[in-house]
């Protein structure tokens, strides 16, 4: 015969406090004295009590869950984002419900519809788009939405991004200062705001030095497509002497093609620069020069925005966080850095 389930009433009786006090102790953000917390937690441990979060969500109308729609985890930038998001939200009493959308260029509407059906308190969309119809549905359901690492032109929802345009300009300045003139670009998914802004800044930076793109190919933010793009660019009779790749996930296989298929040296024959500073970029096999997206700062801004929305105090905002160029061995250094 199974033992009866321990309830908050049992804990309150043993601790000598009210049932409301027990509820406050186990409710994130609620206040209780240190003495009450100690008594309640001691009684709960003795009885083997665990709070019923589902029952509490029915009473409060809050699930304590934040939905996360994410495009893909193959790009090692995103497991880091997921780790930081989970830790930051847990520290504030929330947990993540993760849904995969199938890829960086997939339509996320169906997945986001499903997330909203789970009665999440908020929704974060990491590098996936959100249609205006879904944005309206989220507003009607009183579910705040924040886009992370993706912007939206209509400004209907909040977003947190790196300063992709400034990052692209900085890469152009760096490559030109290194003496490069035949500079190519491998784009990501054309519809992504991150791709558009990185390329726009890069072209602006080249134009400031009187240059245009030498060549361009599209890698769609996908490994296999980036490999084909690299083969096309560097098999030509007159090849680029440098290439900016729209993210590290593509830049690493591009480097493999350049060195191991085509027999070119990096950076002696070709300089390669990426974007994100995903963990493999620092591996000795790659030593990839790249623009670092500041994940902790971006995640903190995203979490603060979603919590403000849950509290009903937020209006749609756009936060842009400046990244930094991390110089490693995959790109030729400008003269002043070589002398240093």
List of residues 6+ apart from 187 with CB closer than 8 A: 195, 199, 216, 217, 218, 219, 246
* CA nearest to 116, candidates 95, 94, 91, 99: 99
pLDDT confidence of residue 71: 78
User: HSE-up of 189 (CA within 13 Å, CB side)?
Assistant: 18
Per-residue pLDDT of the chain (340 residues; tens, 9 = 90+): 345 678 888 889 999 999 888 888 887 667 788 899 899 999 988 988 877 665 555 455 567 889 898 877 888 999 999 999 999 999 988 989 888 876 655 556 777 788 877 788 999 988 776 666 777 778 777 888 899 998 877 667 889 999 999 999 999 999 999 999 999 999 999 988 999 999 999 999 999 999 999 999 999 999 999 999 999 999 888 999 999 999 999 999 999 999 999 999 999 999 999 999 999 999 999 999 999 999 999 999 999 999 999 988 877 889 999 999 999 999 999 876 665 4
**What tokens appear for 150 in the block?**
């993706």
Q: Give me the DSSP letters along 209-272.
A: TT---SEEEE-TT-HHHHHHHHHHHHTSSS--SEEEESSHHHHHHHHHIIIIIT---TTTT-EE
pLDDT confidence of residue 1: 38
pLDDT confidence of residue 269: 96
* CA nearest to 104, candidates 21, 195, 211: 195
pLDDT confidence of residue 274: 98
pTM of the model: 0.81
pLDDT confidence of residue 156: 73
pLDDT confidence of residue 208: 98
Rg (CA), the chain: 25
With tokens 């893909």, the residue in question is 72
Which secondary-structure segment (H or E) carries 290? strand 289-292
**What tokens appear for 51 in the block?**
């709070």
């Amino acid at each position: 015969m199974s033992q009866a389930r321990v309830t908050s009433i049992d804990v309150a009786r043993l601790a000598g406090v009210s049932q409301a006090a027990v509820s406050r102790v186990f409710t994130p953000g609620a206040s209780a004295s240190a003495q009450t917390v100690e008594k309640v937690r001691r009684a709960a441990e003795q009885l083997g009590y665990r709070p019923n979060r589902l029952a509490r969500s029915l009473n409060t109308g809050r699930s304590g869950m934040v939905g996360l729609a994410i495009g893909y985890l193959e790009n090692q930038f995103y497991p880091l984002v997921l780790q930081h998001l989970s830790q930051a939200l847990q520290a504030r009493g929330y947990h993540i419900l993760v849904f995969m959308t199938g890829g960086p260029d997939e339509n996320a509407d169906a997945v986001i519809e499903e997330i909203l059906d789970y009665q999440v308190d908020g929704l974060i969309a990491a590098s996936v788009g959100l249609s205006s119809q879904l944005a309206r549905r989220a507003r009607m359901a009183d579910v705040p939405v924040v886009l992370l690492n993706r912007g939206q032109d209509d400004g209907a929802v909040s977003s947190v991004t790196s300063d992709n345009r400034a990052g692209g300009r900085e890469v152009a300045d760096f490559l030109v200062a290194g003496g490069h003139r035949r500079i190519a670009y491998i784009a990501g998914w054309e519809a992504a705001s991150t791709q558009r802004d990185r390329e726009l800044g890069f072209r602006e930076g080249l134009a400031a030095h009187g240059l245009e793109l030498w060549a361009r190919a599209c890698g769609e933010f996908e490994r296999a497509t980036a490999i084909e793009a690299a083969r096309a660019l560097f098999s030509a009779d007159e090849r680029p002497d440098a290439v900016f790749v729209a993210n590290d996930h593509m830049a690493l296989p591009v480097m493999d093609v350049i060195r191991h298929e085509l027999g070119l040296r990096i950076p002696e024959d070709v300089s390669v620069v990426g974007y994100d500073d995903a963990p493999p970029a620092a591996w000795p096999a790659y030593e990839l020069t790249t623009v670092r997206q500041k994940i902790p700062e971006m995640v903190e801004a995203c979490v603060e925005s979603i919590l403000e929305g849950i509290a009903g105090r937020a209006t749609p905002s756009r936060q842009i966080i400046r990244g930094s160029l991390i110089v490693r061995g995959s790109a030729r250094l400008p003269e002043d850095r070589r002398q240093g």
